[in-house]
Each structure stands twice: as structure tokens, then as C-alpha cells.
Structure 1
Amino acid sequence: MTQLETCWIQVHQRIESACRLAGRDPDSVQLIAVSKTRTAREILALHALGQARFGENYVQEFVAKWEALTPRAVVPPLEWHFIGALQRNKTRAVAERADWVHSIDRLKIAQRLSDQRPADRPALQVCLQVDLSGEPGKAGIAEADLEPLAAATAELPGLRLRGLMALPPPSTDPTEQRRPFRRLRELLDRLNARGHRLDTLSMGMSGDLEAAILEGATLVRVGTALFGPRNAQVTQA
């Protein structure tokens, strides 16, 4: 058994254990393998184990991997999640290739993604990134501005608003880990009470996925626990 396979099994065991503790069906939580700085060869190796969902943070790197892997027509097809900060001048590359975008925090970005989504592709699945810390300079929409952004994004024809995403400050205290995840779930519930039909909470990473699942995560984004420490440089395979 390879190290990658061992890690993949261990992560799934962690997900299943957390779901049992929360009284949830393990199938209600999907794993996104965060493959930034990882090669196409590593992605294919993990895909061969059964992993189909991959998350990328950097547009140029994502495009290179998409172009390297898409012609191979792997089965099941790779599902690409863009989870990093997105600048206005790079939205087209993501709109044309990604299946999901988790990091929308401005209406202008949402509008550009919608306008640039190819007509022959299904609507781009999107989440709004929320800044739960309130610290200046942090990525994400402020809680006070979330409802107007959700309402406007839901009306865009090229997008389908699915839910919320957050990147809380790191903590090793399980109780402290749960607080921001609970808050994100409360914000999702508030939006649904106002007429939205959101079903996705993208939250939880290698160090806190259990806390996120206990608070309702449906997508967990895991890199280090799968692949090990991040590569300093990326070479395409």
C-alpha cells in the first residue's frame, strides 16, 4: 500500500468517525483533495483510488493542470473546485473550466463569472466566502453584507448559488474550532429562512475537519493530510 493510499484511507476514516459522532450519514460529507502545488501525476494517483473532487487555489496552476488532465478523459471525470482568491482579470479562465468556485466575496466577481460561463456548460456551482473574524484585510464578505450579495448572486443566470465557505483562524482547541463553523451554519440557516435553498457548507481542513463535520460541513477541503507537506515548486507530469 502506498503512502498516498494510506493517507486517503485515514482521511476517510476520520470523516466517517466524525459523522458517526454527529449522527450523520458519511455520504453527506464530500472530500475535496486540495491539490495546489501537486503534480498531475499525483492527482491521477489519487483519482485511481476513487477521489474525483480536487481543489485548486491559483489560477495559472489550475489552468495548467486542467489542460494536462482534461484530454485524458478519465472516468469518473475530475470535478474541479476553485477555492482560492480570485481577481477580476482572471475570472474567465476559471469560469470556462471550473465546476465549482468557493471564494466569491464580491458581486463584481460573481457577475464576471456568470457572464463568462460558456453557454454549453451547466451553471457554475458557487459558494460565498464569509469573513468570520472581522479582521481588516481578511478574505471574504462581512456578515453584514452577506444577505445582499447572496440575493444578487442567486439571480445571475450563469451561476447556481449553493452555500457558504469560510477559512477560520487556525486553532488546536476542538471547542474553539467549532465556534466559527457553528456561526457559518447559522448564517446559512438565516439565508434559507429568507427563501434561499442552500445546501452546502464548505468548511474544515486537515486540522479541524472533525469540528466542521460536527457543525454541519458538507464539503471538507483537505491537502496536507492527504499529500503531506506542500511542495515548494510545481512541475507538470
Structure 2
Amino acid sequence: MSTIETQYQQVVNRIHGACDASGRKRGDVRLLAVSKTKPAEMVEACYHMGQRSFGENYLQDALDKITALSHLSDIEWHFIGPLQSNKTRPVANHFQWLETLDREKIAVRLNEQRPEGLPPLNVLIQVNISDEPQKAGIATNDVATFAQQLQSLPKLKVRGLMCIPEDTPNEEHLRHQFERMQQLLLELQQIVPEADTLSMGMSGDLELAIACGSTQVRIGTDIFGARN
């Protein structure tokens, strides 16, 4: 097997092992392969191993890959970077998911710009779960209000929550933040019953995230190698 095949399988095995250890079904947690800065050829190699969902942070780089891989009809593109208001149209036109929604202005623009022929854009509300001033995301106390606002936008489909937790070696701090996210998803489901996604956990903490209810982990370097 190639290096990318080996690394991809190792990540899949880690996810399966974490599901087994926490008593969850393997199918309950999906992998988002974070392909930012990586060439389309590497994405396609991963696709041929069965991966379908890919995460991109940088818009122009992502658009180039989307064009190059347009022959892969069932590939699913997630925008996972900060989104400025002047960049909403390409996301509305070319992506299936936006995982970093935290402003009503962005939501309104995406709703207005989503083409008629496409299904609603799946969105995750980004939560600043560690309450760090330099981080994007809304406060935990504002999730319900924001979710209510999004209900009036028919071309957006609220699918759940996303977070980037505190960068800390303290596992108890991380566990507390992940468990709070799980609770917030339950609260969100009272407003949006179809919200089914909790995007949390990366290479260093995926086992803990899965134990705390994550339904999607975002893995880049461990699959594709170090960033270019």
C-alpha cells in the first residue's frame, strides 16, 4: 500500500477502536478528511479508498480542487475555515457543508446565494466552547437563539454543532468541553430535531471526543502528512 493508504487505514482503525472502546457503533462516527493545502491527486487517492467527505479551509485552493475532481459525482465538500462575508457566494454555490457558521449576516447571505437547483446547504453552528476571546464561534448561551434565527432561512439546513476546543494537555478540561458540547447538541435538538452532527475531535484527541459523543472527527495531517 502507498503511504497515504496506510495512514488513512490507521486513522480508520483508530476511529473504529475508539467506537468499540466507548460502546458505540462504528457507523455512528464519520471521518472528515481535512485536505487543505493538499493536491487534488491526494484527495482522489483517498476517495478511491472509500472516503467521501473532505474539509477545506482556504477557498481558492478548495475551488481549484472542486473543479479538478468534478468527475467524482458523490464527493462531499465541507468548508471548515473562517468565512468572510465577501466569500459567501462560492461556498453557497460549490459546497455541501459549512461547519463554521457563527454570524447571522453570513447565514443570510448564504441563504440568498444558494442556487435554486441545489439542496439546502448543511450548516454547523460553531461554538466557542473554551470561551477564548481570540477564537471564532458563538458563546454557549447563544446557541439556542442563533438556531432559532436560522430557522427562517429555508436554503440552510442546521445539522448540528462544531467546536475547536482549548489547546491543552489537560484531559479533564477537554472532557468537560466535549461533554458540554454533547449537552448543547441535545438542547439544539429541542429546536431542530434533525440536528444529528457533533463535529469535534482531531488527531490528538479523537478517542476522547468519540467517548464524549462526537459524530464526526476532522483529521488532516495523520492522513495526508504535514502541511505544505
Q: TM-score range by the shorter chain?
A: over 0.9
CA deviation vs aligned residue, 1:69-92 (integer Å, no higher than 9, x gap): 11xx226x2100111100000000
Q: TM-score, normalised by structure 1?
A: 0.92
Q: In structure 1, what is the equivalent of residue 151 of structure 2?
A: 154
Q: In structure 2, what is the equivalent of residue 97 of structure 1?
A: 94
CA deviation vs aligned residue, 1:137-191 (integer Å, no higher than 9, x gap): 3100111222111111122110110000000122334433322111111111122
CA distance in 2, matches of 1:131, 1:123: 25
| Residues 41 and 195 (structure 1), Cα distance of their counterparts in 2 relative to 1, 3 Å cut | closer
**What displacement does 1:228 show?**
1.4
Q: In structure 2, what is the equivalent of residue 214 of structure 1?
A: 211
CA distance in 2, matches of 1:178, 1:65: 35
Q: Which runs of 5+ in 1 are unaligned?
A: 232-237
CA distance in 1, matches of 2:192, 2:123: 17
Residue identity opposite 1:181 in structure 2: F
**Structure 1 residue matching 2:168: 3-state secondary structure:** coil
CA deviation vs aligned residue, 1:183-233 (integer Å, no higher than 9, x gap): 1111111222346431110111111111111111111110011111111xx
Percent identical among aligned pairs is 48
CA distance in 2, matches of 1:31, 1:195: 23
Q: Does 1:74 align with 2:65?
A: no
Q: How does 1:1-237 map to 2 (within 5 A)?
A: 1-70=1-70, 73-74=71-72, 77-194=74-191, 196-231=193-228
CA distance in 1, matches of 2:191, 2:54: 32
Residue identity opposite 1:74 in structure 2: L
Residue identity opposite 2:184 in structure 1: L
| Residues 194 and 42 (structure 1), Cα distance of their counterparts in 2 relative to 1, 3 Å cut | closer
CA distance in 2, matches of 1:9, 1:175: 29
**Structure 2 residue matching 1:49: 3-state secondary structure:** coil
**What displacement does 1:37 show?**
0.6
Residue identity opposite 1:117 in structure 2: R
Residue identity opposite 1:188 in structure 2: L
Aligned length: 228
Residue identity opposite 1:162 in structure 2: R
CA distance in 2, matches of 1:83, 1:97: 14
**What displacement does 1:68 show?**
1.6
Q: TM-score, normalised by structure 2?
A: 0.96
CA distance in 1, matches of 2:45, 2:186: 38
**What displacement does 1:34 show?**
0.2
**Structure 1 residue matching 2:69: 3-state secondary structure:** helix
On the 8 A contact 2:198/2:216 being kept in 1, the answer is yes
